[in-house]
Chain A
Amino acid sequence: MKKFFKPTQEWQHLLLENPLTLLAIGLFILILFTALFGPLLVPFDPLESNTANALQPPSAEYWFGTDQLGRDIFSRVIVGTRLDLAIALAAVLLAAGLGTTLGLYAGFYGGHLERWIGRGTDIIMAFPLFVLAMAIVAALGNTVANVVYASAIINLPFYIRLIRSESAVVKSAGFIEAARLCGNANPRLIWAQVFPNVLPPLVVQMSLNMGWAMLNAASLSFIGLGIRPPTPEWGIMVADGAQYIVSGQWWVAVFPGLALTLVVLCFNLLGDSLRDIIDPRRRT
């Protein structure tokens, strides 16, 4: 008789094998807490300027220093968490929702539908993705909503391709045939039988995608698209700090940049760990 691990033992094993997972989970809780309650806890008003106090280095009072208008960088970094996270989350949810639907139908029905959806994804992928996002925001108008749409569009092909190939495999499985023989119609087969089976890779893809979507949103605001100053947002704050780097005032750009790096790192680590747990074959 083969000995099986109890589920708790397996979790222990996975956590011990990769201590980074614990770190990522801890970071994730911290980020979530900051995004939810940060604005209530910050020591200063992130928009309140005080030019007499401009460009002060980090100190006991201003932990991350002050920027060119004398605003407290620590408060701005904390308050900015929610906005960047919300943009990335909205973009990922939109891309995942639409991409999963299109991918499921393309994989399940095949034929013309699959061909046309495939062509659509090919067209998006024919552009360098960040350049396409720039063009979309430039064309639709310089608003936060349009940054979300642009990020969603450039992420769409990855979901469509992943879910299409997964659902094309699942649709020929025995249990689908059985469910069909029980009298289930196609849409019900897709959503009640195929969809639950593509969820694991979908969740992994979404968590890996969050980090990338955050980088994307911050990069767009860094070049002046989407979010406008004086909104506390990490990309804009790094852009503000860029001109002071050459004169040695590093803190203006470094703290928001570090915050962004940390959050992206957290999502990537979480995505890797999730993949190890959900789909051990794809470990690299």
Chain B
Amino acid sequence: MHSSKLQLIARRLIGALPSLFAVILVTFLIMRILPGDPAAFFAGAAATPEAVEEVRVKLGLDRSLPAQFWDYLTDLAQGDLGQSFTTGQPVLQELVDRLPASLELSALGLLLAVMVGLPLGVLAATRPNSFADHACRLLTTTGVCLPTFFTGLVLIYVFYYLLGWAPAPLGRLDLFLTAPERITGFYLIDSLLAGDLEVFWASFTQLLMPAITLGLFALAPLARMTRASLLGVLGSDYIRTATASGLSRTTVLYRYALRNALLPVVNTMGMVFSYLLGINVLVEKVFAWPGVGSYALEALIASDYAPVQGFVLAMALLYLLLNLSVDLVNTLLDPRLEKNA
């Protein structure tokens, strides 16, 4: 690897720091403009004014906003996201416990979307007006119109109730099976590590429907972008030159066209991640999936704000990290970026 590339990567990493700070600041501010008085809320309805004041001092809410932000930062640095008052557990611990469930779901959904969306986009671009092209157009137009929570319910009705192919949409694993010993927290990986194929298959079938629901939504932008970008590349001069030089269709398509066409697709991944992290919440609710999204929802309904704040921060940090890795992948893939460094 060239040093200029390393420089570029270092610059990207440093460039992410202001966003990191902004995300933390905004998350802090959003949760400080809560309606009503958090101190009165925590003290309970029957509390005397003195008791409320005492809670206020205890929570540090009597101090100035910058001082409170400083407290928040020092707590964060120690990994303290506060406590959930409904479960009494530290928020960080619960988020860490539940994050693998959400990540496993999103990852499989995204994988399905890429596995279907990319080939579909390529087919549509290379054979205009063919069946694949029309199928691609139909999927990309309808895919973005389907409310994810609705798609999930329709899948449940068809594949669980009518056909009986899918297991009950209740969480990650059948009630009669025990979860594999926690190593990574991903049931698919942990069950394989434990050599328990029955659990692997059970958790895979449980995962499939919510993952398809997620994938259907992510499919549309991926296929649309692949098609548009590949069409643009196929019309360019260097592809004409390659074809004219007698290179076979496959070589031209896969070695020259696709590699160039994928760059904008990798860039749209950032937007796709943004949707996926939000939509996860809806899918988790529909399939009773014990991930971070349903944790945040339960907390939201109980007006338990520390978990909500922790969830928003965790999602924003995850998104930041994903965008950063998209950037880094692009830096590695695209030799042109090096020259501009």
B282 touches A219 (CB 8 A): yes
B141 touches A134 (CB 8 A): no
Contacts of A134 in B (CB 8 A): 278, 281, 296, 300, 308, 312
Which stretch from B51-59, B152-160, B192-200, B251-259 is at the chain A interface?
B152-160
B147 touches A219 (CB 8 A): yes
A38 at the interface (CB under 8 A from B): no
B142 at the interface (CB under 8 A from A): yes
B335 at the interface (CB under 8 A from A): no
Contacts of B308 in A (CB 8 A): 134-135, 138
Measured CB to CB, the closest approach of chain B to A149, in angstroms, equals 12
B149 at the interface (CB under 8 A from A): yes
B320 touches A126 (CB 8 A): yes
A127-B26, A127-B315, A131-B316 known; A222-B149 Cβ under 8 A: yes
**Can you name the residue of chain A whose Cβ is closest to the Cβ of B228?**
A284
B34 touches A139 (CB 8 A): yes
A127 touches B282 (CB 8 A): no
Contacts of B282 in A (CB 8 A): 219, 222-223
Chain A interface main SS type: helix
B19 at the interface (CB under 8 A from A): yes
Chain B interface main SS type: helix
Which stretch from B63-71, B88-96, B201-209, B269-277 is at the chain A interface?
B269-277
A130 touches B149 (CB 8 A): no
For chain B residues 25-41, which have a beta carbon within 8 Å of chain A? 26-27, 30-31, 33-35
Contacts of A219 in B (CB 8 A): 147-149, 282
Partner of A130, one of B227, B275, B301, B311: B275
Q: Mark A212-228, 1 if CB is under 8 A from B, else 0.
A: 00010011001111000
A162 at the interface (CB under 8 A from B): no
A222 to B278, CA, bound (A): 13
A117 to B156, CA, bound (A): 45
A147 to B277, CA, bound (A): 19
Measured CB to CB, the closest approach of chain B to A241, in angstroms, equals 7
A248 touches B149 (CB 8 A): no
Measured CB to CB, the closest approach of chain B to A224, in angstroms, equals 6
A257 touches B34 (CB 8 A): no
Contacts of B301 in A (CB 8 A): 224
Partner of B224, one of A122, A125, A132, A284: A284
Measured CB to CB, the closest approach of chain B to A153, in angstroms, equals 11
A138-B308, A219-B147, A261-B145 known; A248-B161 Cβ under 8 A: yes
A128 touches B316 (CB 8 A): yes
Contacts of B305 in A (CB 8 A): 138
A93 at the interface (CB under 8 A from B): no
A138-B308, A269-B141 known; A215-B281 Cβ under 8 A: no
A47 at the interface (CB under 8 A from B): no
A223-B281, A264-B145, A284-B224 known; A127-B312 Cβ under 8 A: yes
Contacts of A254 in B (CB 8 A): 153-154, 157
Q: Mark A81-119, 1 if CB is under 8 A from B, else 0.
A: 000000000000000000000000000000000000001
A163 at the interface (CB under 8 A from B): no
A265 at the interface (CB under 8 A from B): yes
A272 to B147, CA, bound (A): 19
B22 touches A238 (CB 8 A): no
**Can you name the residue of chain A whose Cβ is closest to the Cβ of B26?**
A123
Q: Mark A235-271, 1 if CB is under 8 A from B, else 0.
A: 1001101100111101001100110110011001100
Partner of B153, one of A131, A242, A264: A242
Measured CB to CB, the closest approach of chain A to B127, in angstroms, equals 16
Contacts of A265 in B (CB 8 A): 141-142, 145
A140 at the interface (CB under 8 A from B): yes
A187 at the interface (CB under 8 A from B): no
Max count, chain B CB within 10 A of own CB: residue among A140, A141, A223, A242: A223
Partner of A131, one of B33, B145, B150, B281: B281
Partner of B279, one of A126, A130, A133, A272: A130
Measured CB to CB, the closest approach of chain A to B67, in angstroms, equals 20
Max count, chain B CB within 10 A of own CB: residue among A122, A130, A133, A246: A130
For chain B residues 272-309, which have a beta carbon within 8 Å of chain A? 273-275, 277-279, 281-282, 285-286, 296-297, 300-301, 305, 308
A122-B19, A246-B161 known; A127-B319 Cβ under 8 A: yes
B277 touches A128 (CB 8 A): yes
A143 to B4, CA, bound (A): 52
A136 at the interface (CB under 8 A from B): yes
The 7 A-B pairs with the shortest beta carbon distances in the complex, nearest first, are A130-B278, A257-B150, A128-B277, A265-B145, A264-B145, A141-B35, A135-B312
Please list 13 pairs of residues, one from A and one from B, whose beta carbons are closer than 8 Å in the complex, sorted by A's number.
A126-B19, A126-B319, A127-B26, A134-B296, A211-B145, A222-B285, A238-B153, A253-B150, A257-B149, A260-B147, A260-B150, A265-B145, A268-B144
Q: What residues make up the interface of B, taking CB atoms closer than 8 Å to A?
A: 19, 22-23, 26-27, 30-31, 33-35, 141-142, 144-150, 153-154, 156-157, 160-161, 168-169, 224, 227-228, 273-275, 277-279, 281-282, 285-286, 296-297, 300-301, 305, 308, 311-312, 315-316, 319-320
